[in-house]
Amino acid sequence: MNKPDPQVVLNLIDAFRWSKTMFTATSLGIFDLLAGNGPTTAVDMAKKLDTNEDATQRLLDGCVALELLQKTEDLYSNTPAADVYLLRDSPDTLTGYILYSNAALYPMWGKLEDAVREGTHRWTQVFGPERELFANYFKTDESTRTFLQGMHGLGQLGSPVVARTHDLSRFASMVDLGGATGHLAVALRRRYPEMRCAVFDLPKVIAVAREFIAREGVEVGLIEGDFFRDELPATDLFAVGRIFHDWGDEKVLYLLRRMHEKLPPGGGVLIVEKILNEDKSGPLSTLMQSLNMLVVTEGRERTVSEFTALLAEAGFPHVEAKRTGAPIDAILATKA
């Protein structure tokens, strides 16, 4: 009897090695050095980084095999994808999320077995009881900027698509709760120039958002506050992007009810999250993100029916869910 192809298993054995190779090259600043200095040999790169020559060449060659670098004779240079997504000063950079993945997600995923046994996140186990998850992201100006840069890079891939997914022209105003760098608010403002858009987030986040939005040349309001504790502003439409998957149903319901109280009849909530298939058979990236939420937070990814049940309980009977084709999906719910 013919044996099944082992490649699927072999690829998964290698997969974490591929990720860690990119994480390490990004953390060391290899892509930025190549962008700034041009094609460079492994020997020169090792001198710039103060690293071992042989080990540096192995890392560079690994990046070539992963199609992140190009090699001509003994000179290494960035691929076009590296120049767009792996340079820290690129407007489309994903380095913030890569650095966050390397420093936080990678060690916590090493405790996945414990997370599955206990059904709880691994933050305390890995980093200690004194380091609360979200407070740690905003502990210093550097950690705040790194985390928000990561969220911005992901947002840039999805927010322009989300802005086109539903017809939101009936809403005169929108407030993005936990809107981070304002990528969704900017996308909506560009799509609907008459819509008044604002970001509501913690003071440290708003300070960074102000810089990102200024570069976009689009008028977006900035409101400091904690959506769990402070009074929410009046608006026709609330947006919540990658927020609900951080929390269990009880906290999601609490936030939905707070929004419901502020919205007028016919007001809406735009939920920007990955959507699981009803039988939870996929998509693969959403299932992996749900495991990520197990390891890192109190939350998980949800199906349309799970969102619909929560929304109905909070007073939003009309729900329209759409897959966007981007790395994130969109659900529009309206108040009766």
DSSP, residue by residue, 79-132? -HHHHHHS-TT-TT--HHHHHHIIIIIHHHHTTHHHHHHH-S-SHHHHH-TT--
Q: Quick one: 17 and 151 in the same domain?
A: no
CA 334, 335, 336 angle in degrees (round to 5)?
115
Number of independent structural domains in the chain: 2
Q: Is residue 1 part of a domain?
A: no
Q: Quick one: 182 and 74 in the same domain?
A: no
Separation of alpha carbons 270 and 298, rounded Å: 21
Q: Is residue 118 part of a domain?
A: no
The two structure tokens encoding residue 294 = 């197990």
Nearest to 56 by CA among 38, 72, 76: 76
Q: Quick one: 58 and 137 in the same domain?
A: no
Q: Quick one: 75 and 169 in the same domain?
A: no
Q: Quick one: 183 and 330 in the same domain?
A: yes
Q: Quick one: 162 and 309 in the same domain?
A: yes
Q: Is residue 75 part of a domain?
A: yes
Q: Quick one: 43 and 142 in the same domain?
A: no
DSSP-derived letter for residue 67 is T
The chain-wide mean pLDDT, for the chain, equals 95
pLDDT at 130 over 80: no
Q: Quick one: 65 and 179 in the same domain?
A: no
**Residue 27: CATH number of its domain:** 1.10.10.10
- The catalytic residues are 245
Q: Quick one: 138 and 197 in the same domain?
A: yes
Are the C-beta atoms of 255 and 307 separated by less than 8 Å? no
Separation of alpha carbons 30 and 154, rounded Å: 21
Q: Is residue 325 part of a domain?
A: yes
Query: What domain range includes position 64?
Result: 7-85
* Of the residues 53, 69, 85, the one at which a domain ends: 85
b or e along 95-118 (b: 16 or more beta carbons within 10 Å of the residue's beta carbon)? bbbbbbbbebbeebbebeeebeee
Separation of alpha carbons 299 and 178, rounded Å: 16
CA distance between the termini of the chain: 61
Of the two residues 312 and 154, the one the predictor is more confident about is: 312
Segment 134-142 mean pLDDT:
70
Q: Quick one: 167 and 230 in the same domain?
A: yes
Q: Quick one: 16 and 77 in the same domain?
A: yes
**Residue 195: CATH number of its domain:** 3.40.50.150
Q: Is residue 120 part of a domain?
A: no
Tens digits of per-residue pLDDT, 29-81?
999 999 999 999 999 999 999 999 999 999 999 999 999 999 999 999 999 99
* Of the residues 70, 85, 100, the one at which a domain ends: 85
Tens digits of per-residue pLDDT, 174-229?
999 999 999 999 999 999 999 999 999 999 999 999 999 999 999 999 999 999 99
Separation of alpha carbons 332 and 271, rounded Å: 6
Q: Quick one: 209 and 74 in the same domain?
A: no
Nearest to 294 by CA among 101, 113, 103, 96: 113
